[in-house]
Amino acid sequence: MEPQPLHDADEIRKEIKSLLPQVTTLEQDATGNKKYGGDALLALISRMKTALGIDEAWEGRVRYWSKATKLDLPNSAYLIPILKGIEVNGWLLKEGWFVQVNVDPVVGAGTTTLIVAPH
């Protein structure tokens, strides 16, 4: 779990961030956690995967957590903070960085994150 800078892909992250107020909320649970979607968002996620060399077959989704949440991920996934840094297992992953995780991380409250994982 060694964080890496997004470099040029950070421009795509900024596009996703600016699009957030306009995207569709696909799901919202009773605690306020949200799953976002929409064609424009999917296109940006695809560009992000290409820019970072992540397998195109992997699924990307943008989620917001209103409270600290343990993620139930497959064996490997990428976490990319979109809005604010995200707390991952007690350490801060800042905007402009990403990390590949191989365990089920706990993300902090009030974070918006792009998760890319095998479908």
Q: How many domains does the chain have?
A: 1
pLDDT, position 106: 86
Domain around 24: 4-117
Residue given tokens 């991920």 in the structure block: 73
pLDDT, position 89: 77
pLDDT, position 90: 78
Q: At what angle do helices 10-19 and 39-52 cross, to 10 degrees?
A: 170
Q: What's the CATH number where 40 sits?
A: 2.60.120.10
Q: What is the pLDDT tens value at each position of the chain, 119 positions in all?
A: 789 999 999 999 999 999 999 999 999 999 999 999 999 999 999 999 999 999 999 999 999 999 988 888 878 899 999 988 888 877 899 999 999 998 888 888 999 999 999 98
CA dihedral defined by 19, 52, 85, 43, rounded to 10 degrees?
20
Closest CA to 94 of 7, 27, 5: 5
